């Protein structure tokens, strides 16, 4: 244990401070494809009974019209967030007219590109901005990429905790600006540690060792054939997070620096403002219709596909990077988790408990700046794990030395253990975080217990990744439909859906000015300090 981690744990273990650990927030965003009873991509519009994809705070769509996204409110305890997520699933199943939710991150059999509908958000300038952005994504990455689903885990610690730590480390309370900067840079430091250690999450929670042949669209690959419709790698943990997932040439060289918030924002804004020749050759319009928001490396900063992001809740009309510049980092968003196909809502409580311990460890532990060479090593460790993570012979690079993944993973579990114990004390809970560590250690000791190994075993038995996904989707759909919401709770969801439709109509009625002018104004508001 480093001196910094030991010092900060002792500070938070004080009777006067322990309650702070229960005041942080967690939220979940779960993506899931809407499919018919045969497991085929739903070709119908976003169900109106779910409300407006533009304005419903709990149910929206991601890239494709059939790719639903469920968003929980931020809660102090992950168990409450999961209960909210479960309720959203039950409501959705009751309002989807026979469609199901696909239970695997990678899609099943996909139709031709032209038959995959891009998400639609109505005719307002704001709705069209979201739609055209997705047209650009289809142009840049292909529509099959828009059918990948994942779990996003939003995590924050209370500002009072950062103020306490800052005061203990020499920043006086009267320097409010310095306190805000301390919190931002502490989250950035946590992100650096995440880069160092996130390969462990891929080993423990990766659940996509196989995919359908239709997903690759004849792209070159080094996968092995399991059956006519299924490709795999024998030791893979998460092909979704490999170079077969959400990637393209324009982003391949993009490595935002996370040694400070300023350098992170600067590198992203450079990508948003730097032309990319292949996109310039296509242009922003075709036959008078917008096909992408810009011809730059990124249309907007959120196009950068990262395993983790610093975030701030944005205000109306504000861009994400402006929020970070103006008010600092508020929370971090973990984006590399596969949907767990064995869990009805895609993530288990035990996974959430471990993530809380892991992320608190990343936030409290020492986090030196990362050189370009070190960044490449961290990326290579991650890439090895997603494709070979369960290989008993796999080694990763630590401090310039090759070390077995298993040894390093067990070392990390021991480093995280006192953090988990502190969380259990702070939450007045009976060892739930420590218990989650035990479950993860069992996976390290026995790779057959990992989700990726369990998925591959089931896919082999059924002979098809699609057959496995369909079976799990049917099981979960039946479970949700057999246990519907209470009428009062269902009525609240219906009211929220109706209110969101009314909100969208109001936005459309209030629109002024052309879409061209709206895009121009949006593209020009990229500098920090713009309001």
Burial of 221 (0-12, 13-18, 19+ CB in 10 A): middle
Both tokens assigned to 261: 């918030």
Q: Which helix (H) or strand (E) holds 150?
A: none
Give φ, ψ of 325 to 5 degrees.
Answer: -65, -45
Question: How large a percentage of the chain has pLDDT more than 70?
Answer: 95
Q: What are 301-322's pLDDT values in tens digits?
A: 889 888 999 999 988 777 888 8
What was the pLDDT predicted at 172? 73
Q: Does 52 score more than 50 pLDDT? A: yes
With cut-offs at 50, 70 and 90, classify the pLDDT of residue 250: low
What was the pLDDT predicted at 256? 62
Residue 80 β-bridge partners: none
Domains annotated for the chain, with CATH where assigned, are 3-522 (3.30.590.20)
Q: Does 248 score more than 90 pLDDT? A: no
Is 472:104 a contact under the CB 8 Å cutoff? yes
Which residues lie below 8 Å from residue 189, measured CB to CB, with a gap of 6+? 363, 367
Q: Parallel, antiparallel, or unpaired for β 25-35 and 100-101?
A: antiparallel
What is the C-alpha separation between 231 and 238, in angstroms, rounded? 13
Both tokens assigned to 154: 């939003």
Both tokens assigned to 18: 């322990």
Q: What are 391-429's pLDDT values in tens digits?
A: 999 999 999 999 999 999 999 999 999 999 999 987 666
Is 378:192 a contact under the CB 8 Å cutoff? no
The pTM of the whole model exceeds 0.85 = yes
Is 198:237 a contact under the CB 8 Å cutoff? no
Q: What are 101-111's pLDDT values in tens digits?
A: 999 999 999 99
100: left (phi over 0), alpha (psi -120 to 50) or beta: beta
Is 179:173 a contact under the CB 8 Å cutoff? yes
Helix (H, G, I), strand (E, B) or coil at 208: strand
Q: Does 25 score more than 70 pLDDT? A: yes
CA 168 remoteness from chain centre? 33
Both tokens assigned to 341: 């196909």
Kindly report the three-state secondary structure assignment for every residue of 266-330: HHHHHHHHCECHHHHHHCCEECCEECCCCCECCCCHHHCCCCEEEECCCCCCCCHHHHHHHHCCC
Torsion of the alpha carbons at 256, 257, 262 and 266, rounded to the nearest 10: -40
Q: What are 429-443's pLDDT values in tens digits?
A: 679 999 999 999 999
What was the pLDDT predicted at 255? 64
**End-to-end alpha carbon distance in the chain:** 44
Q: Which residue has the tokens 């205000």?
A: 315
Is 110:147 a contact under the CB 8 Å cutoff? yes
Is 89:102 a contact under the CB 8 Å cutoff? no
What was the pLDDT predicted at 176? 62
Per DSSP (E only), the strands in 314-458 are 331-337, 395-398, 401-404
Question: How large a percentage of the chain has pLDDT more than 90?
Answer: 82
What was the pLDDT predicted at 428? 63
Q: Does 83 score more than 70 pLDDT? A: yes
With cut-offs at 50, 70 and 90, classify the pLDDT of residue 530: very low
What is the C-alpha separation between 330 and 332, in angstroms, rounded? 7
Q: What are 367-393's pLDDT values in tens digits?
A: 999 998 999 999 999 999 999 999 999
């Amino acid at each position: 244990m480093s001196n910094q981690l030991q010092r900060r744990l002792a500070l938070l273990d004080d009777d006067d401070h322990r309650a702070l650990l229960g005041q942080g927030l967690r939220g979940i965003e779960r993506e899931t494809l809407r499919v018919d009873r045969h497991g085929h991509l739903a070709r119908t519009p976003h169900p109106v009974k779910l409300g407006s994809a533009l304005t419903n705070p709990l149910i929206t769509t991601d890239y494709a019209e059939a790719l639903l996204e469920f968003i929980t409110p931020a809660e102090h305890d992950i168990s409450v967030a999961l209960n909210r997520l479960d309720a959203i699933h039950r409501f959705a199943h009751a309002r989807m007219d026979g469609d199901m939710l696909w239970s695997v991150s990678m899609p099943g059999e996909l139709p031709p590109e032209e038959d995959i509908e891009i998400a639609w958000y109505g005719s307002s300038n704001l709705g069209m901005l979201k739609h055209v952005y997705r047209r650009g994504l289809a142009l840049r990455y292909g529509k099959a990429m828009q059918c990948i689903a994942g779990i996003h885990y939003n995590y924050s610690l209370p500002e009072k905790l950062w103020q306490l730590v800052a005061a203990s480390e020499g920043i006086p309370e009267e320097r409010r600006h310095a306190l805000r900067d301390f919190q931002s840079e502490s989250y950035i430091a946590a992100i650096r540690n995440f880069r160092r250690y996130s390969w462990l999450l891929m080993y423990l929670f990766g659940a996509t060792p196989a995919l359908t042949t239709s997903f690759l669209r004849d792209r070159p690959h080094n996968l092995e054939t399991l059956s006519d419709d299924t490709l795999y790698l024998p030791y893979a943990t998460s092909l979704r997070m490999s170079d077969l997932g959400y990637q393209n040439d324009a982003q391949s060289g993009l490595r935002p620096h996370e040694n400070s918030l300023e350098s992170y924002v600067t590198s992203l804004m450079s990508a948003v403002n730097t032309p990319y020749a292949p996109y310039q050759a296509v242009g922003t319009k075709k036959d008078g219709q917008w096909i992408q928001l810009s011809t730059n490396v990124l249309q907007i900063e959120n196009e950068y596909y990262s395993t983790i992001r610093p975030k701030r809740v944005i205000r109306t009309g504000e861009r994400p990077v402006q929020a970070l510049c103006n008010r600092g980092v508020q929370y971090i968003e973990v984006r590399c988790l596969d949907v767990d196909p064995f869990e009805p809502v895609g993530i288990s409580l035990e996974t959430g408990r471990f993530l809380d311990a892991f992320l608190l460890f990343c936030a409290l532990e020492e986090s030196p700046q990362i050189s370009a060479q070190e960044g490449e090593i961290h990326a290579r460790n991650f890439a090895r794990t997603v494709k070979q993570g369960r290989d008993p012979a796999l080694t990763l690079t630590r401090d310039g030395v090759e070390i077995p993944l298993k040894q390093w993973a067990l070392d990390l579990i021991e480093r995280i253990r006192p953090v988990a114990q502190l969380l259990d004390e702070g939450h007045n809970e009976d060892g739930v975080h420590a218990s989650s560590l035990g479950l993860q250690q069992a996976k390290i000791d026995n790779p057959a217990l990992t989700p990726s190994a369990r998925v591959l075993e089931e896919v082999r038995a059924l002979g098809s990744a699609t057959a496995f996904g369909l079976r799990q989707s049917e099981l979960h759909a039946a479970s949700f439909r057999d246990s519907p919401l209470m009428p009062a709770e269902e009525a609240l969801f219906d009211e929220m859906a109706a209110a969101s439709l009314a909100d969208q109509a109001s936005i459309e009625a209030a629109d002024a000015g052309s879409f061209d002018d709206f895009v121009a104004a949006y593209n020009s508001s990229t500098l920090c300090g713009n309001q």
